[in-house]
Amino acid sequence: MTLVGRTRTRAVETLSLDSPDNRNALSAALVGELAAALADCAEDDEVRAVVLTHTGTTFSAGADLRDPPRPDALTGLLRQIVALPRPVVARVDGHVRAGGLGLLAACDIAVASHRATFAFTEVRIGVAPAVISLPLLPRADPRALARYVLTGERFDAAEAVRTGLVTAAGDDVDAVLEPVLDGLRRSSPQALAETKRLLAARVLEAFDRDAADLTALSARLFSSAQAREGMTAFLERRDPSWVV
């Protein structure tokens, strides 16, 4: 079964997360398939830009707790998006949670509809947004995000724009996306690649400096007793034992 749909229109490759039954959770299989599709786009000179979007009502619910990717695989996928020699634009018309926000942060541009909602839910299951902090912290406003990262509260598209997580939002996500894609199609491929390299340099520095430590932290937290309790509580639809 294909988990990532692929279409192309006027040099823009659209990759759609297509696992709506589990809310496009980042399983080992989906992460591997998305990485392969991105590698193809990097090698194809006919691709001017990539749009990363979704089927169903959820962009991504974060890591698949039943079939989680290896922490280093998710780290590698996020770095691949940041380093891709093509602009990557996230198109969000639904909910984004936890690791799905890492995909959003790794993209160069992110547009969303006002139907979209966002939440860093890691703290509620006993882990931290360790790996996704690599693209997130250099690009978004850490002070503005602190409340949501620490509490796991939901926030809307307007707040996502205010924090720097999302570039622009509107009632119709495709109306917001249209001028972005028009601009990319009018831009020189060479200029796009070099401009993206300049914009991504600071983010890639964070990966090169901190990826190994944060990947290890993520693995340690996910194997902890509190994480086991948090994930079990989530799957059983109950509060974990630490809720007071």
Residue at token pair 């979209």? 116
User: CA–CA separation, 79 vs 35, rounded Å?
Assistant: 10
Q: Which pLDDT score, from 0 to 100, does residue 112 have?
A: 98
pLDDT of residue 4: 98
Residue 58 forms beta bridges with which residues? 95
Average pLDDT of every residue of the chain: 96
Could you tell me which residues come within 8 angstroms of residue 130 by beta carbon, excluding any fewer than 6 positions away?
A: 214, 215, 217, 218, 221
Dist CA 144 CA 224 (whole Å): 29
Which helix (H) or strand (E) segment holds residue 92: the answer is strand 88-92
Q: Residues 167, 136: contact at Cβ < 8 Å? A: no
Band of residue 68 on the pLDDT scale cut at 50, 70, 90: confident
**What is the per-residue pLDDT across 126-141, written as a single tens digit (0 to 9) for each?**
999 999 999 999 999 9
Which listed CATH number (3.40.630.30, 3.40.718.10, 3.40.50.300, 3.90.226.10) goes with 1-172+188-244? 3.90.226.10
Q: What is the dihedral of CA 214, 109, 92, 209, to 10 degrees?
A: 0
Residue 25 has pLDDT above 90, yes or no: yes
The residue-averaged pLDDT of 162-189 equals: 98
Residue 1 has pLDDT above 90, yes or no: no
Q: Is the Cβ–Cβ distance between 61 and 97 less than 8 Å?
A: yes
Q: In what order do the strands lie in the sheet with 88-92?
A: 4-9, 12-17, 49-54, 88-92, 109-113, 168-170
Per-residue pLDDT averaged across 156-162, rounded? 98
Angle between helix axes 71-83 and 28-43 (nearest 10 degrees) is 20
Query: What is the reported pLDDT for 147?
Result: 97
- Provide the token pair at 135: 């693209």
Alpha helices per DSSP H over 165-224? 173-185, 189-222
Domain boundaries, the chain: 1-172+188-244
